[in-house]
Amino acid sequence: MQNNIPTKQALNLITALKKRGIEIKSEYSDGHKHVDLYIPEAKIYIEIDGLQHYTDPKLFVADLFRDHYSNNDKIFTKHISNQLIETHLEEIADAIAQIVKERLIK
């Protein structure tokens, strides 16, 4: 069961994206799964993952299946490690903001 409390890294990314005018839903549930962040206007899920998502084979495969079902719903999922958020927050937020703007134009 999810604790539905955003991590420090998620909160930092939320703040950075809001500064860029991006509307975020945090700790979002689509009825089937829980995601860390959802950007509804661009149909993007963002998962901020700890190391275990990259080193535990069961979690790795579970993430692949979850992402597959989101793709079927035409929602893209981006996984970002905690470490990248901690070291490259501003660059990541800039990239996400640019992608959201591009998706809104289409």
Are 33 and 47 a contacting pair, CB within 8 Å? no
Mean pLDDT, the chain, integer: 88
Decide if pLDDT at 3 tops 80: no
Residue 16 lies in a domain: no
Beta-carbon contacts of 5 under 8 Å, excluding residues fewer than 6 positions away, are: 27
- Assigned domain for 80 exists: yes
Structural domain contains residue 100: yes
Asked if the structure places residue 12 within a domain, the reply is no
Q: Let me know if residue 6 belongs to a domain.
A: no
Q: Above 60 in pLDDT, residue 17?
A: yes
In a domain, 39, yes or no: yes
Is residue 81 a part of any domain in this protein?
A: yes
pLDDT tens by residue, 28-51: 988 778 899 999 999 999 999 888
How many structural domains compose the chain? 1
Residue carrying the six token digits 């899920």: 45
97 lies in some domain? yes
CATH value at residue 91: 3.40.960.10
pLDDT, tens only, 69-93: 676 678 888 999 999 999 999 999 9
Burial label, 89 (beta-carbon count in 10 A; 0-12, 13-18, 19+): middle
Higher pLDDT, 42 or 1: 42
The whole-number pLDDT of residue 52 equals 86
Domain span including residue 78: 21-105
Higher pLDDT, 9 or 31: 9
For residues 60-68, give the mean pLDDT: 81
